[in-house]
Structure formats: structure tokens, C-alpha cells
Amino acid sequence: MHEALAGFGDRMRSLAVFYPVFNLQQARKYPEYDRVALGFGVLLFILESMLLGRSGCEHRDVGRFLRQVVEETYGHRLTEEEGLEMAYFFLDALRNDGHPFEFPFRDLETGVDAACKFTLVETASYEIHGKVLFRLSSEGLDLLFKTKEIYKELRITILQLLFRQQVEKGVFQEALRTVDNMLVQVRELHEDIRRLRQRILRNVGQITVADYVALVERVHEQFKREKETFFFLRGLLEETQKAYRQRSLTDNERQSFDLLVQVAGRLDLVINEHNSLFSRQLDLSSFLEEAMLESLAHTFRTRVNFEREFVDGVLANTPDLDVLRQILHPLWVCRKNKYFNVMKALDSQFVGMENEGMAEGQVGPDVTEMERQAERDRLLKEQRDARYRRYIETCFRPLWEREAYALKDALDLLAPEEYALLIGEAEFYPFLVQLHQMGVWPLVVEEEVAAKIIDSEGGNLPYLFVQYLRRHPELRDKKAVEVMASREELALANGYRVTNYRFRITELPAPPGAPAAQEV
């Protein structure tokens, strides 16, 4: 064997993960587009959703992504339906219609035929009503990382190095991306352990004790090293934040500091995930012992081929109906028999419920009804928030061009139908009162303060205002706006009378304040 061929099998396995992507060019569908590019784009899109910390993305997200890319690249506007169709095509192709990809090859090192099986996209979770979330499999992630030349075992370490450099150089925007990337890598380690658990669960025989010990040792060493580095990085961030806090900051520096606070928050998240990984891998050892015992029993089990033995058996013998019921019966949940006790009539009963449509015999809280109520509450909150967003936009719109104005100026900018809608909404008036009660509204988002303002059920104005400022970062130059009452009354078209509030650009209060926040 030529020494150039050492490790040939592993290299071929590394190469194999690319073939499904190139294979897309052979498909008959969508010849007008570059299917390799679009397929690769779909993989990158799934990676992007993982980087954003989402648990996965679904068919419709991929459909929307493809519509956007096709429109931007080819100028073709696809309908939502066509986008979804295209998502089905690419997701089917990249998942090989549900089968793992198989790549056979001749191993030139050993001289025998070999094959590798892999998947690129896997199911992250199922949700009720048939929504399925996808994420990249380990091989899928490998493929994308190979296009950036980073090896799997070293990914977290390399990202840690990169992160350190970025913090030291003060490029926090890039550090933020790196820390998100680290989170994906740590979660991928979680997944590795989950997959190992599943392999053990399904066939402990495939995992030898030596394999297991080697894995635990490798993982343990790797964790220890990474944990020490995380500890160091957290210290580095604390030091950097301290240095910022000790001096007065220019606008640019304040922006950097805000980013730094975000980076620190995300790093904490990564460290927490990493620590839980540490405890989970210890838990794996007892799990394995148990699975090994179970494997003794497994050796006595036989194999089943449902197609050959059952389906073909049924076709050949055409058994009667009951036989099929008996074959499938063990899969179903046991039928529960419920019996009526006549003494139930003497149980304590809900009274005064006749008019509320409570079903007969129903005495506890109805879970379905509670779910419906929660859904109704969620929708109401969404509608209320949308209205408040509109009020904020309306009241602060003149701020873009003027240093001072009155409520009337803001209302004059509305189209007649917008004006009629707004003054007819009862919530607009308490909104104005809240606006005034707050006095000075900072137009600069302090990340430390913003982190404590949460999206809440009621009284959500501070949160929505922070969201407004995030959408309009250019307002930060104006520092703050003060809302003051005036003696002048404004007569609205519907006959209502309100104070013609005054709005004025002002300095940030010292120490820097924020809208009354609901702290976590």
C-alpha cells in the first residue's frame, strides 16, 4: 500500500458528504435554477437558524428563504405555494426521501469495498399539528465547517481563541457572532451525547467498553480544557467591562459597551450549556451499564422484517380481519373502561354554571378550554401591543425633524382614516397619560437596563418603547425626549377633549435613567 493512501477510508468519508449537494444538479426539477447553489443555500439557512439559537426551522421558513433568494437572484417572484413546493423538493433531496445517504467506495488502503452512511439534515423536533423542525446533522455541520476549514474536535477551542482575540481588539460585533457560534457547537456536543445514548438504547452491542471509555476520556479532557478557557474568557469580559465603567464614554464607546454587555450575557448562556453537558456525560455511564445489562436480553431477540414477513405474509395467506387486529394490537394504548357510580349524584357540584355551557359531568378545569383561553389571551396581547406600537410611532414621528412639537402636530401627520381609527380607540387615552407620567424618555438603549425590561402581559409600554428605539437607532443622537402637559386642550373630531401634550428634546437625566422597568 502506498503511504499516500494512509487513512484513505476516513478521507473518502469526509469527501462523501459533498456528493448529495452536487447530485442536485442531476435532478429533473427546476432546471432554470442552479440547484447546487440553492441546495447549499438551504443548508446555510438551516445553519443560520441554529446560529440564532432557534431550535430549528421548518418547511415554511425554508420556503420563505427560497422565495427571497430566487427573487433577488433570478428576479422570479414565486408564490407562497411555489416557495413551499420548492422547499419540499430541496428538503426531500437533502434528506434522501428519509433514507440515510449511502456512499459506496473501494478503500484503496485496505483493498476492500466499503461504504459510509450519513444524513445532512435531521429532525430537531415535532410540534403539535404536524410542524416539524429541522437542523443540520453532525455530518451536515461538518460539511459546512469544511467549507471554512475548521475541524470538529477543535471547533470550540478555535472559536474560544477567536473570541479572545475579538474581545481584546474590541470588535464586539464579531465577538457576538463568535459566541453564538460557540453555542451551536456546545449544543452539537449535547447532540453527540444524545445520539450516543440513542445508539446505546437501540443496540448496546455496537458500542464496546473500549469505545465508551475512549469517548468518555476524550470528552472529559476536552471539557476540562474548554471549561478552563471559558473561565478565563469570563474573567476577560469582566475586566473589559470594568475598564469601560470606570471612564466617561463617547457615543461610539457607549455602543461598544452595549455590545459588550450582550456578548457577556450570551457567553454566560454558553457556559451554562457547557456545564450541563458536563453533568450529562457523567450520567451517561450509569445509563450505559444499564443498557449493557439489557443487551444480554437483547441477544435472545430475533429480527423482524415487516415487509417480507408480515405484509407479504398477509398477501400470501389473506388472513381474516381479526388476525390483523391481533398483530397490530400491542402497539395501541390500553383501552380504559370508565364506569358510572350512581353515588356521583351526591358529590359536591358546581352551581350556577348552567348558563356558562359547562358540559354535563365535567367537574374539573377543562384543559382544552384553558388552552383556548391562553390562546385568546395571547391574541389579545398581540393586538394590544400592535395598537401601542402604532401610538408610539404616531406620537414620536415629528421627532425626526423637530426639536419640539405638540400632540396636535403629531396627529396632523396622520391620514384621515388613520386619524379616525386612532381617536376612536379607547386605549389611546390612557396611553397618553402613561406617556406623560413617565416624563423623560431616554432615546438611547442602555443594554444593562434593557435586559431587565421584559415583554409582559399588561403595562408593556416600556418594552415596546425599547423595541421602537431598536428599530430606529438613529434617534440615539437626540439623547432624550420630555413629555409635558400644557394648559391647552385639543378638541378631537369625535368631540373628545385631551391635553395637547408637548414633546421636547432634552438631555439624558443623570444618572442615566430608563423608562420604569419591570424587573425580572
Partner 1 sequence: MQEVYKAESVEQALKIFLELVKKGEIPAGSDDLLRVYKTDPEVQGLLTNVFEPLAEVKILETPDRLFLSPNTDNKVFGYTNEQLRQRLKFDNNRELYMGYFVMLSLLAMFYGSETMEEATRTYVTVSTLEEFITGKLEGLAAREDLRDLEKELEYNLVSSVELWRDLPEYDQTLVRLRGSKNNRVSFILKVCAFLQEEGLVVVAHDREIYVTEKLHQMVRKYYSDGGRKEQLLGLIRKRGE
Residue 14 touching partner 1 (CB under 8 A):
no
Are the CB atoms for 395 and 413 separated by under 8 Å? no
Task: Confirm or reject binding of residue 206 to partner 1 (CB under 8 A).
Answer: yes
Decide: 408 and 490 in contact? Cβ < 8 Å.
yes
Of the candidate residues 15, 327, 420, 516, the single one contacting partner 1 (CB under 8 A):
327
Q: Closest CB to partner 1 among 122 and 409? A: 122
Q: Is 321 in the site for partner 1 (CB under 8 A)?
A: yes
Using CB under 8 A as the binding rule, whether residue 308 contacts partner 1 is answered as: yes
Query: At closest approach, how far in Å is the CB of 316 from partner 1?
Result: 6
Q: Which stretch binds partner 1 (CB under 8 A): 20-28, 260-268, 334-342, 420-428?
A: 334-342
Q: What is the DSSP string of 140-162?
A: HHHHHHHTTT--TTTHHHHHHHH
Binding to partner 1 by residue 98, rule CB under 8 A?
A: yes
Quote the least distance from Cβ 94 to partner 1, whole Å. 12
Q: Which of 97, 113, 356, 507 binds partner 1 (CB under 8 A)?
A: 97
Q: Is 59 among the residues that bind partner 1 (CB under 8 A)?
A: yes
Residue linked to cell 374539573: 364
From 466, 470, 435, 438, select the one nearest 450 (Cα to Cα): 466
Q: Is 105 in the site for partner 1 (CB under 8 A)?
A: no
The length of the chain in residues reads 520
- Taking alpha carbons only, the member of 437, 392, 423 closest to residue 498 is 423
> H or E segment at 118?
strand 112-118
| Residue 294 interacts with partner 1 (CB under 8 A): yes or no | yes
- Is residue 306 close enough to count as binding partner 1 by CB under 8 A? yes
Q: Which stretch binds partner 1 (CB under 8 A): 97-105, 138-146, 156-164, 188-196?
A: 97-105
Residue type, 443: L
Q: Candidates 18, 244, 310, 419: give the one binding partner 1 (CB under 8 A).
A: 310
Torsion sign over Cα 88, 93, 95, 96: positive
Question: What separation, in Å, do the N-terminal and C-terminal C-alpha atoms of the chain show?
Answer: 66
Shortest gap between Cβ of 334 and partner 1 (angstroms)?
4
Among 261-269, 299-307, 429-437, 462-470, the segment contacting partner 1 (CB under 8 A): 299-307
Minimum CB distance to partner 1, residue 102 (Å): 11
Beta bridge partners of 126: 132
46-54, 98-106, 209-217, 483-491 -> range binding partner 1 (CB under 8 A): 98-106
Does position 301 interact with partner 1 (CB under 8 A)? The reply is yes
Dihedral sign computed on CA atoms, order 294, 299, 300, 304: positive
Q: Please, what's the b/e burial string for 140-169 (b: 16 or more CB within 10 A of its CB; e: otherwise)? A: bbbbbbeeeebeeeebbbbbbebbbebbee
Query: Where in 336-355 is the site for partner 1 (CB under 8 A)?
Result: 336-337
**Cell 449544543 appears where?**
187
Cell numbers linked to 377? 389571551
Given the rule CB under 8 A, which residues bind partner 1? 59, 88, 92, 95, 97-100, 119, 122-123, 126, 130-132, 200-203, 206, 287, 290-291, 294, 300-337
